[in-house]
Amino acid sequence: MIQSNIQITGKPFLTLTAKILLLLVLTILLCRFTKNYALIPIIGAGVFFALSYQRGKALIFYLLLPFLTIINPLILPKVGFFSAFARGGTLVMSVALLISAIRSPGKQALPFGVMYLYLAVAFLSSLQGYFPLISLLKIVNFLVFILGIHIGTRNLHHRPNDILLLRATLFAFAILIVLGSLMTLPFPAIAYYTSLASIISNEGIQYATNMMGSYGRMGLFSGLTIHAQFLAPMLACLAGWLLCDMLLIEKRIAKLHAILLALIPVLLFMTRSRAGLLAFVVMLIMVYFYCLPKTSLPSAIKGRVAGIMLSFLVVLLVGGVILEAKDSLISRWIRKSDDLSEDTRTLNEAVTESRQGLIEQCLHDYRRAPLLGSGFQVSESHREQYEAGIINLFSASIEKGILPLMVLGETGILGLSVFLIFLWSFWMGCGNKRYIATFTLFVVLLSTNMAEATFFSPGGGGGILWMICIVGGFLIDMSGVLQQRDMRGALGPT
């Protein structure tokens, strides 16, 4: 057995992380000062590395496109041909990764098989849906994105340099999002862009900054990202990735991991996102009850980690009770209102009101065509908007409610049945191959779709969540395969 001789933890990892962090910052600045034309060499580099069979470097550039898409527009304006570059770049790099996959033998791959069957059902559904052409374009867009992930990550355990590179990239990304978001706090127009976007558009940044006080403590913190509803689920996913990485790869309580993990709940609370809180709680449950028991950590360290997580939950609950009793903070957060005296809604209405319309729309789509649904990622209004020139074939955005109802409305009973089979096959595949991190983070990814379904939206907030949870989870599992292989090699033949 040949050892990899690549150290995926320790000083080499931290040094590489620092270099990639600098690269991420420079990329944002280059795109900003070139009006996004810097995306052309970025896409070109991704294609070059893919065709040169340097998949680790190719996947870094593949990650950059969804990452740049969610950056706060006051930091990176989405001017010029940004959207076309981002969508086209994903397609071209996916094709390049597909070509490079020919030289990647082995059986370590994400269990995506049934997903392709679901997309075939979505194709049939879309033929009789609201707007077939838009649906078909979106199916192709999601298909090439998934193929890029599926093919780009296959048999990463054969490429230890790529594992180190990708792990350092995701860690650098976590540092940038967490610390970068904190650094926006002295600039309210940036930090609270979600709350101030319309004022900034109409009156300018300075006026919006002066107006920030009128939002009280209920401003929606978006930090380095374009929206609080992008930042919150991303923070939950990053927390899950950091915990899995620390438990399965570092196998110790690493200081920098711990610092980031301590800051994330604070930022998450500042977003006022109930969906983000739900995803964070699901993440803690999955790590505590599934991931932690399956790690090879010594019992003493397992006990210490479990104790820290339980202590955190207790502090969270007790702190919530105290803050609610003292200042009704939890009630104001749930209702997203500072003036409780004027809010006559019941608690259930306050929680569900913002999504009720989307839920009803999904049910309307289902009733229109119960067996096959009303088409992949389209709405009834798209045809009218297209004819009025409000949207085009490549800019038909969609907002839908919780994932199961979205799947039911778009692809009907047949599609929902196949999607449930996909979930079962994915979880079984992860279980059979001991993909502990991938399984854990996939559940977290699904939980982020219980308020706003971004599962099939790689061009929006969904793309970056797929990269963190699925690519990030799989590279952690492949790091484990690599470590086991090196251990067997060090022991020699038995």
pLDDT of residue 357: 73
pLDDT of residue 25: 95
Decide if 198 is inside a domain: no
Decide if 203 is inside a domain: no
Q: How far apart are CA 88 and CA 141, in angstroms?
A: 9
Task: Tell which residue, 144, 96, 99, has the closest CA to residue 119.
Answer: 144
Decide if 193 is inside a domain: no
**Domain encompassing residue 298:** 11-184+223-491
Give alpha helix (H) positions in 338-402. Answer: 347-368, 382-387
Mean pLDDT computed over 171-194: 91
Decide if 199 is inside a domain: no
DSSP, res 159: -
pLDDT of residue 88: 83
pLDDT of 321 above 70:
no
Decide if 57 is inside a domain: yes
Confidence of residue 229 (pLDDT cuts 50, 70, 90): confident
pLDDT tens digit sequence for 71-117 = 999 999 988 788 888 878 888 888 888 777 666 666 788 999 999 99
Mean pLDDT computed over 459-464: 81
Decide if 3 is inside a domain: no
Burial of 343 (0-12, 13-18, 19+ CB in 10 A): middle
High-pLDDT (> 90) share of the chain, %: 44
Decide if 197 is inside a domain: no
Query: Helix crossing, 403-432 with 113-127: angle to 10°?
Result: 160
pLDDT of residue 114: 96
Confidence of residue 426 (pLDDT cuts 50, 70, 90): very high
SS (H, E, C) 240-293: HHHHHHHHHHHCCCCHHHHHHHHHHHHHHHHHCCHHHHHHHHHHHHHHHHHHHH
Decide if 178 is inside a domain: yes
Q: How far apart are CA 232 and CA 273, in angstroms?
A: 6
Of 91-100, 245-254, 458-467, where does the model show the most confidence? 245-254
Structure tokens at 411: 């692809």
Q: Which amino acid is at 459?
A: G
Confidence of residue 216 (pLDDT cuts 50, 70, 90): very low
Domains held by the chain: number? 1
